[in-house]
Structure 1
């Protein structure tokens, strides 16, 4: 299928207002990934196979890669991540994307049935991103996705429809949906929606990991980052890491280093390989090589959008 690229532009970001941005990233909940993945034996069409490292992964029946290469620099991501005004959010974006090379705003893969966007979202996040896109530019949303006839519920794409479409491989393999999403991913308004939802993700994790009591930007960004695709097992629980690492003679940077070592040693990222976990730890520590004592400060949504407009 022919690639549908539009000329890149980021000047649109400078006119945003922070209150509007957060409101646009409305909560359109999705259903559990566990419920929304199934092989032919269970009424679905996804594949559950071992990868090259012997770990089971979920794939779309038409394959994993759709329109992006595994590693390439995303310039918009880099522009935000390297801007001083992006603060801890820039650190999070840099670390979770491994310096803007492992994830892209226009990324689109068949892993898990669908994996897309700057935070490698899956089907449970699709309603939120499409909801934010629709809020930003309803006319453009209808132009790109309207012909698909996706059912709506309470102003959001019906999460049950998304779940069933994921189980059947539709979100990657259906030619019409594939073409529509690829077209959307190139649209500046879609990228705005992604940034809205990424900011909401950041704020959600800020609240989630606040009980750990970490005060540095390094410590908080580390937890926000490892929280992306963290394996749900006891040895991958941040509170347990901190309890094991805390000591009267240790400053916070050393405690965080220790927590990240436990994360890596237990293969707490994704499919559970130490290699993947170590790569994430490396990205975090490279980002904060000389800044591990910098205190966490509040971020300005306006400043982040302005960073992307430069």
Structure 2
């Protein structure tokens, strides 16, 4: 397999066991049957978890270098790993004088952005014990896209980062494989420096607990939309919670649910209405123990009370899965 060898950051397998049980709606019988699309989907999710493990501010404070003028650390923390990768790539492309990209598909097909990205992140030998790696840009002027992509990947190989894509994958703009390629580049050569002497509230980067990560992984394993990147902030409109109710066979009347885009005026009220409905469903028909928990608590991102509801959702989900 061309993706290997690759080393992922250490993951607590006991912690990830349950979240992986239902990835891409796959069951043991599907693995035994060797259903290609489900097996490939499972493999992609596992690889993605490994690649994205350190692409968050709480684990890599140097990502704060990507802050834009007037942007707060809290706003940057709300970006998904994919959004952070795109911003990271554009940060280096802008410093190289090259144009920004909007995606890892159509905008990278000619490999030219990749050439500039590699040239920017390659070690310059300025740190003690760091060997200089020079990127040969001559392939940038190759007229054939496939040959240009191969030349680019030869330069990526100098960094030990040729995994995940072939020249054809680059030229076709395969979004998943190119995303994995860029994530691998970031993990090995982020080329970022943590900002100093800036008015940044670093206390926000306390990081999530193992329990919180388990809850978040479990939600994402069920395919909720949007993807949950930050447990409390991403539940403040209760849309994910309502989807979780459906997963445990608690009926949701979606005609009562407010969906984005929310109006500029009264947006929070619409989200609060969703949260109130989520608590209502939790009390009946789900029959959860929600004493002292109201919709306002979910909307406010109250950690203790949000976790109390989420824990009961996950426990019910496990019981339902084991009964199938």
User: What TM bracket, shorter-length normalisation?
Assistant: under 0.3
Q: TM-score, normalised by structure 1?
A: 0.27
Q: TM-score, normalised by structure 2?
A: 0.26
Higher RCO (Cα < 8 Å, 6 or more apart)? 1
Larger strand percent: 1
